[in-house]
Amino acid sequence: MDRHKALVFAYTKTALTPPKELGSVVIRLKKYSNTLRDALEDSRYTRGESSVHLPFDKTIARAVEDMVAATVSRGLKYVIVIGIGGSNLGARAVYEALYGKNGARVPLGKPQLLFLDTADPHLYEAVNRELKAHVKHTGEVLINLISKSGNTTESVANFEVLYAELKRRLGTALRNRVVVTTDEGSALWNAAQAHRFKTLSMPRQVGGRFLMFSAVGLFPLAAVGIDIATLLKGARDITPACMSADVHKNFACASAGVLYVHRRKGLRTYNQFFFNPDLETLGAWSSQLMAESIGKERNDKGKIVHEGILPLVSIGSTHLHSLSQLYFGGPRLMVTTFIYAPNTAPSTRVPRTVILKHLKGIAGVPLSGIMGALYGGVKRSYQKHGLPFMELVLPALDVYSMGQYMQMKLFEIMYLAHMLGVNAFDQPNVEDYKQESRQLLQARR
């Protein structure tokens, strides 16, 4: 019996969007379904949509596994991922879903992932402090520099600083402990080859935020022993549902449709409300996907529209105690998806209460049961107040669920962009500040 078969998304609660309205949206997608069907077979990655083929790509999976075989051995303690945005959020999201923030629950003796994203001296210092304390020779460390374009300022700067520091301490054999993940033929690719660093490539036509299931997301996870085969299986297994013409089976399309219908009525914010704090970075990953794919100055006909939905990540129950007054009382411009994996490891029960005997109901309940009651209470309250929401129940915080969720989100955002008439695959408005920053850097000299 395949234990993963049972893992499915529980149900959607779209009651607050008239089903008829949703149906008419979905019907108009027939033609786009053909595009997606082609993309699913597109092993040459000729267009943005082709990212949905990645979980089916055996060549990529094999290249990653080969690189793991070439670089990982028993003594490995740290894999340092140097990358930002699409170059680190996917791997980080899965890592933290499994092992907690900053890998708080990594089993003793297992290698850890460390992340250097922005050019913050304090961030660098924290990573370097950890490495100084625990790394004595090159076999204990692996650096994975990830940059699609190859010229991300922060990532190159972090790499240069860290590489110089570690080389000084550990010697020139450090050269063998670097894996550079970038577009084949980029300046970084060529430089890496010249320095005899190991390299992994990615499909050029696919944008950074869609590359989770390429070497970008897969290699760091595989390097610390995470089961990427099951991650990919989760992504593959949910794909037929994401292509289904039956909107009740196709959560990606239904969710996009709900967002679309509400967007046309003034929706401004999409709140993903996670009731597992370990999923916060998963929220950040999908926030990038929505922000960059939907937030567009122009639509696909070139008209200025300033389209966009602000993605928000809320954490239950933490944000109930800081933001929910706004959610319940404030402007009605938000659609929420509650996301919850109730079946986490059995947790300590609250003992017969020492101090607050009048707080009925908590004695004998496990902490997860308290979270479950808060979750249930919030849902009931949303319903009572007529606040629109969907729901996604993850059967577990495991790689299979992550694979399902992430592939589903890729489909969802493509459907939504298509409905809204924007190009999901470009990001034309982020070049300007980079240009300005480069000028400021050069003016320093």
Q: How many residues bind its own copies (CB under 8 A)?
A: 132
> Which residues between 22 and 51 bind its own copies (CB under 8 A)?
none
Rule CB under 8 A: choose which of 204, 248, 265, 438 binds its own copies: 438
Per-residue DSSP letters for 315-327?
ETTGGGGTTHHHH
Rule CB under 8 A: choose which of 8, 63, 72, 119 binds its own copies: 119
Q: What is the Cα–Cα distance from 387 to 262, expressed in whole angstroms?
A: 12
Residues 6+ apart with CB under 8 A from 277: 101, 315, 318
> Which residues between 372 and 411 bind its own copies (CB under 8 A)?
372-374, 376-378, 380-381, 384-385
Rule CB under 8 A: choose which of 44, 62, 129, 265 binds its own copies: 129
Measured from the CB atom, is 8 or 362 closer to its own copies? Answer: 362
Residues 6+ apart with CB under 8 A from 32: 414, 415, 418
Instruction: Show the CA angle centred on residue 317, arms to residues 315 and 322, nearest 5°.
Output: 80
> Which residues between 177 and 236 bind its own copies (CB under 8 A)?
187-188, 191-192, 195, 197, 209
From 41-49, 252-260, 350-358, 407-415, span contacting its own copies (CB under 8 A)? 350-358
The answer to whether residue 268 forms part of the interface with its own copies (CB under 8 A) is: yes
Q: In a 10 Å sphere around its CB, with 0-12 CB exposed, 13-18 middle and 19+ buried, how is residue 146 labelled?
A: buried
Rule CB under 8 A: choose which of 16, 63, 135, 362 binds its own copies: 362
Measured from the CB atom, is 73 or 439 closer to its own copies? Answer: 439
Measured from the CB atom, is 158 or 250 closer to its own copies? Answer: 158
Rule CB under 8 A: choose which of 2, 31, 74, 356 binds its own copies: 356
Q: What is the Cα–Cα distance from 271 to 435, expressed in whole angstroms?
A: 32
HEC string for 88-141 = CHHHHHHHHHHHCHHHCCCCCCCCEEEEECCCCHHHHHHHHHHHHHHCCCHHHE
In the shown chain, the binding pattern of residues 135 to 164 toward its own copies, with x for contact by CB under 8 A and - for none, equals ---------------xxxxx-xxxxxx-xx
Rule CB under 8 A: choose which of 8, 16, 72, 123 binds its own copies: 123
Q: What is the Cα–Cα distance from 317 to 119, expressed in whole angstroms?
A: 32
From 15-23, 221-229, 244-252, 268-276, span contacting its own copies (CB under 8 A)? 268-276
From 6-14, 53-61, 113-121, 403-411, span contacting its own copies (CB under 8 A)? 113-121
Measured from the CB atom, is 229 or 291 closer to its own copies? Answer: 291
The answer to whether residue 56 forms part of the interface with its own copies (CB under 8 A) is: no
From 74-82, 83-91, 248-256, 403-411, span contacting its own copies (CB under 8 A)? 83-91
Distances (CA, A) of 232 to 32, 93, 228, 292, 365: 24, 15, 6, 24, 36
Cis, bond preceding 43 (omega within 30 deg of 0) = no
Place of tokens 């020779």: 137
Q: What is the Cα–Cα distance from 340 to 344, expressed in whole angstroms?
A: 10
The answer to whether residue 288 forms part of the interface with its own copies (CB under 8 A) is: yes
Measured from the CB atom, is 59 or 172 closer to its own copies? Answer: 172
Cβ 335 to its own copies shortest distance, Å:
13
SS3 4: coil
In the shown chain, the binding pattern of residues 294 to 333 toward its own copies, with x for contact by CB under 8 A and - for none, equals xxxxx-------xxx-xxx--xxxx-xxxxxxxxxxxxxx
